[in-house]
A and B are shown apart, each in its own frame.
Chain A
Amino acid sequence: MRERRQRVERALEESLEPVHLEIEDQSDRHAGHAGARSGGSHYRITIVSERFGGRSRLERHRMLYDALGSLMEVEIHALAIRAFTPTEWTEQRS
Chain B
Amino acid sequence: MSEISQEVLDQIDEAVKQTPILLFMKGTPTFPQCGFSARTIQVLESYGVPFRTVDVLANPLVREGVKEYASWPTVPQLYVGGEFVGGCDIVCEMHESGELAPVLEQVAESAQGEAGSPEPSDASG
Contacts and interface: CB of A to CB of B under 8 A. Distances in A.
Interface of A: 30, 33-35, 57-58, 61-62, 65, 72-73, 78-82
B93 A57 contact: yes
Interface in B39-87: 57, 71-74, 84-87
Nearest to A82: B89
A57 B86 contact: yes
B89 A34 contact: no
Contact of B74 (A34, A78, A82): A78
Nearest to B75: A78
Nearest to B33: A34
A78 B87 CA distance: 11
Interface residues of B, number: 19
A72 B90 CA distance: 18
Given A35-B34, A73-B1, A58 B84 contact: yes
Interface of B: 1, 33-36, 57, 71-74, 84-90, 93-94
A72 B73 CA distance: 7
B84 A78 contact: no
A31 to B, nearest CB: 13
Contacts of B86: 57-58, 61
B36 A57 contact: no
B115 to A, nearest CB: 28
Q: In the A-B complex, list the 4 residue pairs whose CB atoms are closest, starting with the nearest.
A: A72-B73, A57-B90, A81-B89, A65-B73
A71 B77 CA distance: 20
Given A34-B33, A58-B84, A78-B36, A73 B89 contact: no
A61 B90 contact: yes
B88 A80 contact: yes
Nearest to B74: A79
Given A35-B34, A73-B1, A65 B72 contact: yes
